[in-house]
């Protein structure tokens, strides 16, 4: 017998860290320093398995999970590890930036009249530092038309990890059940709630609460094998469960859950694009052009420029995709022509799944490294054949598609040409033409 359709979604419950807010970059950095300072032999290193186990949990639980995953000596107490990391982080919480697409999704649902709630494992006091006045989060919502007071009133309910109602942290269901119960008008049934989560422990909590859950992992797909196997896609049939796993908040379609659809996509060649400039979702990358992976993109007629790895550090690890952007080369000996003016460009940011095996082999490591590879769409002859060492700025203004694996190189190359057409088209759209004059390109 076919199962009955799931009831309509009347409440969307968001996790915060790793889903809406890039906390993971500084937390991973701090946790690595804390482990290094233990001075163990062999040294304790944060593994993908430890990260997967820790993410989504309350801070003390996260450190316990890390200690367990790494097999740290029992004399090392999770509470001490937490105290050391908190000392490194407390002044930095307010610098955490929203994830790409986070402000767009949250403000869209709010404006469309959908009830939204937050269920985070972070303690109240840390939540205030991350989202309160002066934080990058508050600034981003203000830019999107929700100044401080309005930004906190976005949420029908906010549940933090140390609230009394949360007897047990994620992966227990308490936080999500409390968020559903705390929504006005007598609360909501779990079956009417849709949860968005980045972490295995969080998805487990949502499923345990009897809710549907969309996962947008904050660990790169290449490391998702480290996720525990609790996350079968069993929610699609109705009832609780994980319904889908997406590479980006930009790939989430509310209409798939009968929620009000986005109306901001623009036609772009044979594709559509999601523009996000001006506004808090636009992101700015700045670095140096380095040699690529020797996959011969130039010989394929796709002369891309690789940005150095450090330029990607501000972007959370799992942020990937193909984007339209403006690319600006700094005038100087490394780039004698074509510098000093922004060019339309199409950029691939990610782990190049097409070349997964080659990437790993070339580097002699198990995990591929992320690259940011813009193809500057300048007229023939406008740019030198190579410009290694030149300064490069990317103003990333529209989302085109997720990274993918294609059946053979020809299909990939055809898609990259379609991406270029799409980028040209969307960058010429009235909504985005001003982006080439963004202050990011002013001399400094
Ligand atoms: N690599 C992938 O593995 N999957 C992709 O979906 C993908 N899309 C790309 C889109 C653009 C616009 C560009 C410039 C590159 C893309 N790449 C992708 C990276 C590609 O593998 C790399 O540029 C090769 O060196 C081209 O042959
Ligand atoms: Mg999370």
Which of 289, 344, 400, 416, when mutated, tests ligand 1's pocket best, judged by the most ligand atoms within 8 Å of its CB? 416
Q: Which parts of the chain have pLDDT scores under 50?
A: 229-230
Number of H helices, E strands in the chain: 12, 14
Pairing of strands 271-275, 266-268: antiparallel
Catalytic residue chosen out of the listed positions 17, 61, 174, 438: 17
Please write the tens of the pLDDT for every residue from 100-122. 999 999 999 999 999 999 999 99
234 among known catalytic residues: no
Count of alpha carbons within 13 angstroms of residue 412, beta-carbon side: 18
Name residue 321's beta-bridge partners.
Answer: 349
| 297 Cβ neighbours under 8 A, 6+ residues apart | 303, 304, 373
Write down the pLDDT at residue 295: 56
pLDDT value at residue 354: 86
Cα 199 to ligand 2 centre (Å):
5
Crossing angle of helices 200-208 and 174-181, rounded to 10°: 60
Residues near 263 by beta carbon (within 8 Å), at least 6 away in sequence: none
Q: DSSP code of 210?
A: T
Can 17 be counted among the known catalytic residues?
yes
DSSP string, 124-151: HHHHHHHHSTTSHHHHHHHHTT--HHHH
What is the atom index within ligand 1 of the atom nearest the CA of 300?
Answer: 27
Q: Is 191 helix (H, G, I), strand (E, B) or coil?
A: helix
In terms of Cα–Cα distance, which of 81, 77, 76, 89 is closest to 122? Answer: 89
Q: What is the pTM of this model?
A: 0.94
Indicate the top mutation candidate among 221, 304, 325 to test ligand 1's pocket, ranked by most ligand atoms within 8 A of CB. 304
Distance 423 CA to ligand 1 centre (A): 14
**Long-range contacts: 291-298, Cβ < 8 Å, 24+?**
291/388, 292/371, 292/373, 293/352, 293/355, 293/358, 293/359, 293/362, 293/371, 294/362, 295/355, 295/358, 297/373
Give residue ranges with CB within 6 A of ligand 1: 295, 297, 300, 302, 304, 322, 346, 348, 352-355, 373, 375, 403-404, 416, 419
State the pairing for strand pair 115-119/157-159: parallel
Give the ligand whose atoms come closest to the C-alpha of residue 195: 2
| Distances, alpha carbon 288 to alpha carbons 112, 178, 291, 358, 392, in Å | 42, 48, 10, 24, 6
Two tokens, residue 41: 């032999």
Q: Which helix (H) or strand (E) holds 119?
A: strand 115-119
User: Do 177 and 210 contact (CB within 8 A), yes or no?
Assistant: no
Q: What b/e readout covers 339-356, taking b as 16+ CB neighbours within 10 angstroms?
A: beebbbbbbbbbbbbbbe
Nearest CA to ligand 1 atom 22: 297
Tokens linked to 232: 């079968």
Closest C-alpha to 250, from 195, 319, 313, 314: 319
Name the token pair of 220: 């790169």
How many whole angstroms from 196 Cα to the centroid of ligand 1?
A: 28
Q: What is the DSSP string of 341-381?
A: S-EEEEEEEE--GGGHHHHHHHHTSSSPPPEEEEEE-PPTT
Which pLDDT value is given to residue 186?
A: 87
Q: Measure the CA–CA gap between 6 and 78, rounded to whole angstroms.
A: 41
pLDDT score at 113: 96
Cα(352) to ligand 1 centroid in Å equals: 6
């Amino acid at each position: 017998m076919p199962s009955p359709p799931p009831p309509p979604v009347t409440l969307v419950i968001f996790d915060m860290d790793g889903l809406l807010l890039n906390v993971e970059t500084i937390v991973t950095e701090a946790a690595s320093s804390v482990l290094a300072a233990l001075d163990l032999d062999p040294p304790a290193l944060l593994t993908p398995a430890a990260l997967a186990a820790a993410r989504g949990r309350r801070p003390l639980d996260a450190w316990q999970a890390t200690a367990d995953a790494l097999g740290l000596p029992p004399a090392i107490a999770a509470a001490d590890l937490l105290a050391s990391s908190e000392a490194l982080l407390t002044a930095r919480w307010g610098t955490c930036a929203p994830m790409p697409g986070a402000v767009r999704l949250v403000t869209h649902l709010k404006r469309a009249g959908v009830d939204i709630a937050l269920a985070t494992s972070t303690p109240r006091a840390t939540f205030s530092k991350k989202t309160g006045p002066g934080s990058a989060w508050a600034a981003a919502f203000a830019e999107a038309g929700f100044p401080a007071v309005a930004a906190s009133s976005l949420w029908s309910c906010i549940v933090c990890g140390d609230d009394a109602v949360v007897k047990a942290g994620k992966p227990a269901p308490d936080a999500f059940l409390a968020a559903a119960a705390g929504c006005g008008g007598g609360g909501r049934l779990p079956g009417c709630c849709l949860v968005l989560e980045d972490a295995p422990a969080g998805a487990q909590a949502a499923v345990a609460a009897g809710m549907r859950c969309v996962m947008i992992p904050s660990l790169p797909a290449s490391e998702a094998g480290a996720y525990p196997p609790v996350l079968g896609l069993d929610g699609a049939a109705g009832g609780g469960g994980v319904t889908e796993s997406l590479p980006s908040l930009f790939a989430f379609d509310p209409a798939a859950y009968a929620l009000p659809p986005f109306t901001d996509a623009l036609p772009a060649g044979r594709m559509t694009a999601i523009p996000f400039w001006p506004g808090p979702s636009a992101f700015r990358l700045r670095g140096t052009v380095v040699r690529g992976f020797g996959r011969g993109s130039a010989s394929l007629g796709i002369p891309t420029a690789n940005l150095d790895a450090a330029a990607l550090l501000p972007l959370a690890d799992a942020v990937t995709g193909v984007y339209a952007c403006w690319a600006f080369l700094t005038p100087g000996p490394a780039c004698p022509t074509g510098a000093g003016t922004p060019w339309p460009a199409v950029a691939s940011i990610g782990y190049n799944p097409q070349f997964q095996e080659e990437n790993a082999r070339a580097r002699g490591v198990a995990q591929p490294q992320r690259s940011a590879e813009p193809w500057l769409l300048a007229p023939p002859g406008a740019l030198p054949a190579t410009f290694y060492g030149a300064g490069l700025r990317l103003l990333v203004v529209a989302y085109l598609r997720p990274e993918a694996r294609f059946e053979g190189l020809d299909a990939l190359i055809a898609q990259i040409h379609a991406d270029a057409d799409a980028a040209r088209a969307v960058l010429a759209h009235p909504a985005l033409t001003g982006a080439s004059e963004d202050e990011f390109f002013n001399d400094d």
